[in-house]
Amino acid sequence: MAIPETCRYFLPSTKSEKEKEKRKKKIRNKKKEKKKTRALTDRMAQKLAAEVFSELEITPLLSLFLEP
């Protein structure tokens, strides 16, 4: 027998607390990893831009594009 959609919200959760915590932790770790990757990518991009600008000898423009 199928449970009506409206009744499902009142039934106890089928997942255990451990599984819920595990999932939350996994999501949290993914977010942290994303932040690390983004920060690393930003730094690499800044270094590359600095090299390109130094080769072009347009250092006054560097301050416009890169953070101090």
Residue 50: exposure state from Cβ atoms within 10 A (0-12, 13-18, ≥19): middle
Q: Residue 29 domain-assigned?
A: yes
CA dihedral 50, 56, 57, 58 (to 10 degrees): -70
Q: Residue 5 domain-assigned?
A: no
Q: Residue 3 domain-assigned?
A: no
- Structural contact between residues 57 and 66, judged by C-beta atoms closer than 8 angstroms: no
Q: Residue 30 domain-assigned?
A: yes
Comparing 38 with 14, which gets the higher pLDDT? 38
pTM, rounded to two decimals: 0.45
Number of domains in the chain: 1
Q: Residue 51 domain-assigned?
A: yes
Q: Residue 1 domain-assigned?
A: no
pLDDT given for residue 34 in this prediction: 92
pLDDT given for residue 18 in this prediction: 85
Q: Residue 25 domain-assigned?
A: yes
Q: What is the pLDDT of residues 4-19, one digit of tens each?
A: 666 656 666 667 888 8
Q: Residue 11 domain-assigned?
A: no
% of the chain beyond a pLDDT of 70:
57
